[in-house]
Structure 1
């Protein structure tokens, strides 16, 4: 079995992404451009960690935001527009279908776009743990978030549907659907960022440079 994974990362339109973080980048003001920069920074740090992980063979971002497509395209990241059905899970399914059409024998993974403290080594370890389960006959595996209720990473073995069930309570839904939980100690992989408290915890783990820069106040003239 392959030792690598092809990953899908959806990125919402920046103006709508991370609504509970509005104001986090500018002292509570919530200026739209500052918020969009923070949302993009979270995705950029996640994507750069993914691209530095040897276990990732292909990365596909699903987004219809022209700013996301333009910025990531400069760095050679493949961006696929959203399909006709909106939502996170349809975006994952669309991306996984694209990757499987290219290689039906790929291990396919779905990763959240808000992991600014992600380390490539943690991602590599999680991929290796999932592939070991697949070699023993498992079809799907997932990494729960820091609270244990959500999901940050879902993987499917060759020949198995990704079947994403992200959203509130997704860890329970993924496990109920037959996906096996991965139990490694990967704090940056588990710490997705939806709220100011999440952001503080990610900061304590060590933010990537883009998110750190987006949180640095810009001097006023």
Structure 2
């Protein structure tokens, strides 16, 4: 694939709208229990699919392993280096990330290829290929990095143009969270009422059963 074609493909992939769990209203958000197969990677604890897509773009924009630049961009508020590194492993489909350090790549493209690798030498943990041999030499890491750069590197004009989300106005975020809490409280009240109705219907003569 030519650099121009690859750049267009990556740009199109980065612009794909995230899947939504429900069609309308405030519940129209991506949830952590959405099918991970939508994006060809598994979720680490504390991540949802929308955040994975932001990390995907951040890795293309800043390069794998440039965690401080991602933190300084404020595109993933609250995420630690350890959390980003673990989720990157799952996106790549392998535990070792050293051979990708500094590369501007689409981690899910690598992960899609790793998911298809088969053979007796392939061992996986949490859907990630693990290194069962000794520690890679510096020369081998550099050799692999050069190969990955040739195969996966996103053209500079593409990754330099990637825009990452900025933190929301904290007051607007607080208002939205309050509305979400109201909605959840109403749903909880409705569920409690349904449970009470079912319990009361099962009592002789419709006698109300005292709740414990």
More strand by share: 1
Bucket of the pairwise TM-score, normalised by the shorter protein: under 0.3
TM (normalized to structure 2)?
0.26
Larger Rg: 2
Choose between structure 1 and 2 for higher RCO, CA contacts under 8 A separated by at least 6 residues. Answer: 1
Structure having the larger proportion of residues in helix: 2
